[in-house]
Every structure is written in C-alpha cells, then in structure tokens.
C-alpha cells in the first residue's frame, strides 16, 4: 500500500517539489539568470495552479496512476460540480476539495468502495484540508517577520529562498496527508465501509448524487441576473426537450456568449458616439 501512497503523494504536490522547487533553489543559489529556468518554472507553476482549481485534473491523474482513469474522471467531474459555487473571497478560506478529490479517488479504487457512498466523504475531507491550510497560514506569520529582518539586511538570496520554501509548504500541506491517508487509512476505511448497513450506504449514495446539483445551485445564486436567466432556460430546454448532448450544448453556449458580447459592445460603442 505504501507504493500507492507514494504515487498519490506525488499527484498531491510531490511532483512540484521535484520539478519546480528544486530547480528554483538551484537558480537562486547559483545567482545566475537563465531564460530556460525562468520558462520552466513558470510552466510548472501554471500546471500546479491549474490542478489546484480544476479538481478533475488531480483526480484523473490519481485514477491514471492507480490504474482506473474512468473512476478518476468520474470523481473529479463530480467534485468539480459540487464546488462550482465556492470561491475565495477576501481573506476567507473555503473548504478545499483538491486533497479531498485525490483521497476519495484513491479510496474508491483501492478499497473497491461504492462510488456514491465514498463521494459523501468529499465534504468532511475538504473541511479537514481547510483546517490544515488555515494552520499553515497561521504559521506563515513567523516567516513574514523573518523575511522583514532579511529585507532590512538586504539579504535578497535569503528572501528568495524563504519565499520558495514557504511556497513548498503549500504542497506539503497536501503531500503529507495524502501519503499518510493512503498508507495508513485505506485499510481502516475499507473496514469502516464494510460494516456500513445497506440503508445508510444507499443514503450516502443518494447524497453523493445530490451534492453536484447543490454545487450547481450555488453557482446559479452567484451569477443569477436578469441578463443570465434567459440563457439558462434556453440551455435547459435544449437539454431536456431537444435532447442536445453535453458537447453540443457547450458549443451552443460558447456561440451564444460570443453573440451576446458582440451585441453588448456594439451597443456600448453606439452610446459612446
């Protein structure tokens, strides 16, 4: 099980430590500018950020390395829908489904658990990840004061190193729980799921199906306006009554958005004249 734990830890952010953090440290200590290194680090940061907000990516990769890409895609897509309406606003830190999507995918694949009941674990795992993030952010206060002293002493190399290492801390917040969660927790989770009665298992399965609808509802509450509602109902009617599939619906939505933007800018230009 520890082999699987190592692979999951790599997906959770371990890869970034090897491919981004270590090259950054080498560049900082060498005190030499390198266009290749700059491009490489920028691309690695972009990939890491993409996975942090598109939860289907880490879940799918977890499924791929564990030999079940289909389950990874299913879990990732479901989690993405569940948290569509969750955003970071100001200093608030919402529950983080990044780690939850990885651990849930690993749990389903390694324990052969029912997907529906396992998806019900996403929310508590997301809240636990949120608490870990808040704890690390509180710890960062000490590093900020350390950075202030380095700035006063004009220690630019130290500042760069501290900034890089603190960034690595964000990955460790996910890497360590992912490694321990799979290495130590999968067998315990399998035993727990095996004793769940059928009525509770069916209830958790239903909850796993409802949560994506709840996430989509939260998104509608955020974007709802008199301008948006007509497009929503057009899409609903196209899917429900005209049997338009997801791909065709997405293309239709993009076309309608482009037409809307062009008409809106055309009206703005007329008003300006």
Based on the fold, state whether residues 241 and 198 are members of the same structural domain.
Answer: no
Question: 238 and 118, same structural domain?
Answer: no
Residue 133 · residue 172 · CB < 8 Å: no
Residue 5: the pLDDT is: 87
User: Do residue 156 and residue 230 come from a single domain?
Assistant: no
135 pLDDT above the threshold of 90:
no
Residues 233 and 269: their CA atoms lie apart, in Å, by: 29
Distance CA 126, CA 133 (A): 10
- Statement to judge: residues 110 and 96 lie in one domain: yes
Q: What is the model's pLDDT at position 66?
A: 93
pLDDT of residue 60: 93
Pair 209, 246 in one domain: no
119 and 214 co-located in one domain: yes
* 143: enclosing H helix or E strand: helix 122-152
Task: Select the more confidently predicted residue: 137 or 222.
Answer: 137
The average confidence (pLDDT) of the chain is: 81
DSSP annotation of 30: H
Same domain, 63 and 99: yes
Residue 80 pLDDT grade (very low, low, confident, very high; cuts 50, 70, 90): confident
65 — pLDDT class (breaks 50, 70, 90): very high
Buried b or exposed e, range 230-244, using 16+ CB within 10 angstroms: eeeeebeebeeeeeb
What is the helix, strand, coil percentage profile of the chain, to 5?
85, 0, 15
Pair (95, 218) in one structural domain = yes
pLDDT over 70 at 201, yes or no:
no
Q: How many residues does the chain have?
A: 273
- In angstroms, the Cα distances linking 42 to 32, 37, 68, 177 are 17, 8, 30, 26
- pLDDT at position 142, please? 87
Residues 212, 272, single domain; the answer is no
Which pLDDT does position 27 carry in this prediction?
87
Higher pLDDT, 49 or 199: 49
Q: How far apart are CA 87 and CA 60, in angstroms?
A: 22
Q: pLDDT for 216-234, tens place per residue?
A: 777 777 777 777 788 888 8
Pairwise CA distance, residues 40 & 216, whole Å: 36
Q: Which domain holds residue 81?
A: 2-223
Does 215 lie in the same domain as 107?
yes
Asked whether residue 216 falls in the same domain as residue 234, the answer is: no
Instruction: Say whether both 42 and 91 belong to one domain.
Output: yes
Look at the chain and report how many structural domains it folds into.
2
Q: What is the DSSP string of 184-240?
A: HHHHHHHHHHHTS-HHHHHHHHHHHHHHHHHHHHHHHHHH--TTTHHHHHHHHHHHH
pTM of the model: 0.72
């Amino acid at each position: 099980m520890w082999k699987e734990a190592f692979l999951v830890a790599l997906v959770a952010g371990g890869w970034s430590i090897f491919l981004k953090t270590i090259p950054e440290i080498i560049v900082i200590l060498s005190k030499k500018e390198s266009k290749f290194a700059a491009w490489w680090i920028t691309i690695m940061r972009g990939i890491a950020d993409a996975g942090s907000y598109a939860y289907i990516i880490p879940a799918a990769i977890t499924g791929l390395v564990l030999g079940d890409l289909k389950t990874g895609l299913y879990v990732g897509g479901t989690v993405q829908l569940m948290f569509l309406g969750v955003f970071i606003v100001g200093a608030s830190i919402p529950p983080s489904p990044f780690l939850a999507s990885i651990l849930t995918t690993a749990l389903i694949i390694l324990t052969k658990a029912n997907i529906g009941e396992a998806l019900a674990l996403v929310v508590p795992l997301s809240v636990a990840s949120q608490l870990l993030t808040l704890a690390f952010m509180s710890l960062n206060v000490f590093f900020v004061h350390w950075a202030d002293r380095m700035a006063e002493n004009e220690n630019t190399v130290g500042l760069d190193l501290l900034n890089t290492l603190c960034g690595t801390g964000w990955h460790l917040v996910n890497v360590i729980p992912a490694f321990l969660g799979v290495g130590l927790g999968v067998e315990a989770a399998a035993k727990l799921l095996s004793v769940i009665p059928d009525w509770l298992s069916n209830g958790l399965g239903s909850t796993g199906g409802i949560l994506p609808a709840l996430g989509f509802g939260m998104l509608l509450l955020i974007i709802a306006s008199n301008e948006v509602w007509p497009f929503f109902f057009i899409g609903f009617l196209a899917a429900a009554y005209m049997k338009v599939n997801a791909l065709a619906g997405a293309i239709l939505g993009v076309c309608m958005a482009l037409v809307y933007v062009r008409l809106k800018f055309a009206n703005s230009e007329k008003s300006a004249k």
